[in-house]
Structure 1
């Protein structure tokens, strides 16, 4: 049951490439927000950098989908020229692990809105702890760091969790995910409501 099919690998890879480009496109947005609000500016939209892990896991529903999609996206982003370099791959892996931990806690059986929001928050938590040590957050006021953490958790829940679910559901409604777990769920719900 947990064996990956070729189409799942292809879709996960395509999603990772697409979102690597999206991630790069949002860097200037983050820098603009930092210019206005300081370091917390990135935290306001940090959820965008977790979204592929939520989408891939929600569509495919296999162990490893969140971790692998986020890791591949980070690798592609580095290849496309992200200035952070190879350390970004480690960050992508950590973000993917945060989402993966939440899906694993449900034994990969629940993919409702709360679990998807929780997975976004898992990515936020893991990435924040990592960022705390590599980005020098300790030099900032404790209250400011707490505000950054809260902003990132909300961003993870709303942007990664809710937006990721909405994008995936919209894609499923087109029929292109017919042979995937999410597509099958949409068909069951559609026929059950009829």
Structure 2
């Protein structure tokens, strides 16, 4: 967290707390979808569980923002009572690493919509590999497992990438992020 300003740490932490609550709120939605569609039900909305990593990275634009925000959110979620317990912190770290990997591929220089969608896809892939070994996906048919992976990747791209960008841009328009990298870049583009 070298070269991080205090307000960046505070905003990242606040976002993580807010999305920990959002994550908990979506668990019953996922259970309903599983009831209708089977295990793939969660994958339709799985992108919601990586969204803070994309939002924090898009706003702050520093190495580690995606990983740290997702790890903090998972820790808060455990403290709020997620039934999975401490194992969820490892899951959050893996999801954060997935999103972080997309920004690292661009050397933290590009935060366009394609990179944000890629971050959602990478979080989906990392989380899916982890889930494959911890959630018993091996017992399912390979066609079904592939459908789960593709669905999760689409969810990551759309919910985390596109919705994350839209929420961040809307927050930037309120003026509360005026000293953050996101707004500074928007100003530069508007001035050009």
- With the shorter chain as reference, the TM-score category is over 0.9
Which residue does 2:148 correspond to in 1?
A: 148
Mapped partners of 2:101, 2:5: distance in 1: 22
Unaligned runs of 5+ in 2: none
| Mean Cα deviation higher: 28-37 or 179-188 | 179-188
Which residue does 2:51 correspond to in 1?
A: 51
Matches within 5 A, 1:92-131: 92-131=92-131
Mapped partners of 2:163, 2:189: distance in 1: 20
CA RMSD of aligned residues (A): 1.1
TM-score relative to the length of structure 1: 0.97
TM-score relative to the length of structure 2: 0.98
Mapped partners of 1:39, 1:94: distance in 2: 20
Does structure 1 residue 180 correspond to structure 2 residue 180? yes
- List per-residue Cα deviations over 1:111-156 (Å, max 9, x = no partner): 0000000000010000000000000000001110010000000000
Q: Secondary structure at the match of 1:4?
A: coil
What number of residue pairs does the alignment pair up? 192
Mapped partners of 1:84, 1:27: distance in 2: 11
Which residue does 2:77 correspond to in 1?
A: 77
> Which of structure 1's runs of 4+ aligned residues deviate more than 3 A?
none
Which residue does 2:135 correspond to in 1?
A: 135
Unaligned runs of 5+ in 1: none
How far the C-alpha of 1:190 sits from its partner, in A, is: 2.9
Mapped partners of 2:186, 2:78: distance in 1: 35
- List per-residue Cα deviations over 1:5-53 (Å, max 9, x = no partner): 0000000000000000000000000000000000000000000000000
Which residue does 1:10 correspond to in 2?
A: 10
Mapped partners of 2:16, 2:9: distance in 1: 10
How far the C-alpha of 1:191 sits from its partner, in A, is: 3.1
Mapped partners of 2:20, 2:138: distance in 1: 29
